[in-house]
Amino acid sequence: MKKRIEDLTVTGNSRLAESFFVIKVYSSEGLPEIKPGQFVQALVTESPSTFLRRPLSVHDVDPATNTISLLIQTAGPGTERLSRLTPGEKLNLVYPLGNSFTLPAKGERVLLTGGGCGMAPLLYLGRKISESGVQPHFALGFRNRSRILSHKEFTSLGPVYLSTEDGSEGHRGFVTDIPEFRNEPWDRVYCCGPEPMMKAVAALCRSREIFCEVSLENLMACGLGICLCCVVPTTSGNLCSCTDGPVFNVNDLKWQTSG
């Protein structure tokens, strides 16, 4: 799968909630094959304090229209500028980058869990899992009711369980407090979200010996494996989260030591 650098055309920008939005970009060259869990490196123009590209997970792919969706949370000047993209503008991407989630085998019970912009890669992953004939379940965590992102598209793929930290909707607490998460016999759990969430999910899965993959969001300069800035300590030494990841099996990560 060749990586490319390409000017895509913004075809949509819709706000999901305070500080979350979805950008759709269209490739006139025709999209390459993109695997769930892969990401793009987006060039942010017109933002004087943004020097490097910004890594963003592929949220969804529509091969019929050659369109990629990106689910973005405003975190600073770079994402703020992206939030103001309007249809017709160009967005230069280097993509597709990184490895991908391992798809389940037929008949496995799989849970996709995440929160905030960590939901980004889960939609496309859920779609691919669903296409492979397996039913994805989703466990999504939010701070409170007002921070809940629209998740219609998730619901169309499988059951969605919600948690909010204050209990204002769904189960009170974190995703790991959702009864379906704790009690059902999952074969695989996929997770993307803030580091504490991923660590909690990983701990739960380890204790129950569930296969668990997480998608890391380490700081990146290149996204191409040439700067070695995005490393994560693993059982096989420091690996680049941009090429050996961003998806890692939690058993390979040395999380106990790094924080």
Partner 1 sequence: MADLRIKIGPMEFRNPVILASGTCGYGAELEDFMDLSELGGIIVKGTTLEPREGNPYPRMAETASGMLNAVGLQNKGIDYFEKNIYPVLAKYDTHVIVNVNGNTIEEYVELSRRLDLLTAIPAIELNISCPNVKKGGMIFGTNPASAREVIAAVRKVYHKTLIVKLSPNVTDITEFARISEGEGAEAVSLVNTLLGMAIDASTMKPKLSTVTGGLSGPAIKPVALRMVWQVARAVRIPVIGLGGIMNAEDAIEFILAGATAVQVGTVSFINPRSGTEIVNGIEKYLVEKEFDSVSRITGIINRN
Ligand X SMILES: Cc1cc2nc3c(=O)[nH]c(=O)nc-3n(C[C@H](O)[C@H](O)[C@H](O)COP(=O)(O)OP(=O)(O)OC[C@H]3O[C@@H](n4cnc5c(N)ncnc54)[C@H](O)[C@@H]3O)c2cc1C
Ligand Y SMILES: Cc1cc2nc3c(=O)[nH]c(=O)nc-3n(C[C@H](O)[C@H](O)[C@H](O)COP(=O)(O)O)c2cc1C
Interacting residue ranges for partner 1, rule: CB under 8 A: 2-5, 43, 48-53, 94, 218-233, 237-238, 243, 258
Residues 26, 88: Cα–Cα separation, whole Å = 10
| Contacting range for ligand X; rule: CB under 6 A; set: 4-12, 70-78, 132-140, 157-165 | 70-78
**Between 5 and 75, whose beta carbon lies closer to ligand X?**
75
**Between 46 and 209, whose beta carbon lies closer to a second copy?**
46
Q: Quick check: 204 binds ligand FES (CB under 6 A)? A: no
Q: Quick check: 224 binds ligand Y (CB under 6 A)? A: no
The Cβ-side half-sphere exposure at 139, using a 13 Å CA radius, reads: 28
Tokens of 148: 């809940």
Residues 205, 203: Cα–Cα separation, whole Å = 5
DSSP state of 130: H
Place of tokens 């961003």: 246
Place of tokens 């060749």: 2
Report how many residues bind ligand X under the rule CB under 6 A.
21
User: Exactly one of 9, 227, 243, 252 binds ligand Y (CB under 6 A); which one?
Assistant: 227
Q: Which residues pair with 259 in a beta bridge?
A: none
Report how many residues bind ligand FES under the rule CB under 6 A.
12
Binding mask 110-139 for ligand X (x = CB under 6 A): -------x--x-------------------
Tokens of 31: 């999209």
Residue 52 touches which member of ligand FES, partner 1, a second copy, none, C-beta under 5-8 Å by kind: partner 1
**Between 200 and 230, whose beta carbon lies closer to partner 1?**
230
φ and ψ at 149, to 5 degrees?
-90, 150
Residues 111, 57: Cα–Cα separation, whole Å = 19
Q: Quick check: 52 binds ligand FES (CB under 6 A)? A: no
Q: What distances in angstroms separate CA 116 from CA 18, 71, 236, one per listed residue? A: 11, 9, 30
**Between 48 and 259, whose beta carbon lies closer to a second copy?**
48
Of 65, 57, 67, 135, nearest to 96 (Cα)? Answer: 57
The residues that touch ligand X, with contacts defined as CB under 6 A, are: 39, 50, 54-57, 71-73, 75-79, 117, 120, 217-220, 246
The residues that touch ligand FES, with contacts defined as CB under 6 A, are: 220-223, 225-230, 240, 242
